[in-house]
Every structure is written in structure tokens, then in C-alpha cells.
Homo-oligomer: A and B are copies of this chain.
């Protein structure tokens, strides 16, 4: 794993932004700072950073894909504003893990992971 300009810039961009960014956003931000990376490179770096556990891929059910820096309290869910597209974190684990046990028993289904998102209007957009 080498330390290249794209890799460094990419991590910096993700660490500055609190909301997860799309690959397109990231590419635009790189170009804005005169780092004219190719989209293939960006996708490959995102893959690589994900495999290293430095970032997480956020796949929302509206089919958009975004990337966020991995934190310590890792697993969480998102509030997605349908007007301005802002994304905020929200925690829900306690409530979910209790219910998952019920589901596993009643449905005879072994849950490995879940996804949950809330789509609506952020404070500014209401």
C-alpha cells in the first residue's frame, strides 16, 4: 500500500466532510483542487481503502452509493434529506438487536447484517 497523491487527497476529502460522499462528488473535489485523477483510479482507491477498513461504503436504498470515513463506533444508520441530499448519522442498534432475535426465531432466518435508512426533510429543508 503506497502513499500516493490521490490516496492522500481522497482521505483528506473524506475526513473533512461529515456527510458521506459519492464517487462523483469525490472526483469533482479532486479536480477542484487541481488533482486531475481518472475515475478508474478513484474507484480503485475507494475499493482499496474499503478493504483496508479505512472507509465504509454506504449503499442507500435509493440506489445512491456514498463513501464515509470509518470511525470507531462503526455501525450506524442514516437520515437522508430528500431535498438537499444531506446525510446524517443516527443510532438505532439497541432497538434493532432486540427485534432481530425475535425475527431469527419466528422466521428461522439467520441475520448477518441489516440496513436501515430514513428519508425525509432535514431541519433546514422543512
> Which residues does A use to contact B, with CB under 8 Å?
59-63, 65, 79, 81-82, 88, 90, 92, 95, 99-100, 103, 107-123, 126
CB-based contact B120/A79 at 8 Å: no
- In the bound complex, CA of A63 to CA of B60 (Å): 8
In the complex with contacts A95-B99, A99-B95, A113-B119 CB distance below 8 A: yes
Checking B82, B95, B103, B126 against A118 with a beta-carbon cut-off of 8 angstroms, the contacting residue is: B103
Known: A79-B103, A111-B119. 7 other contacts (CB 8 A): A90-B107, A109-B118, A109-B121, A110-B121, A110-B126, A113-B120, A115-B115
Q: List 17 A-B contacts (CB under 8 A).
A: A59-B61, A59-B63, A79-B107, A79-B111, A90-B107, A92-B99, A103-B118, A108-B122, A108-B123, A109-B122, A111-B118, A111-B119, A111-B120, A114-B116, A114-B119, A115-B116, A116-B117
List the B side residues contacting A122 at CB < 8 Å.
108-109
Query: B65–A63 contact, CB under 8 A?
Result: yes
A117 / chain B contacts, CB cutoff of 8 Å = 61, 114-116
Q: Which chain B residues lie closer than 8 Å to A114 at the CB level?
A: 116-119
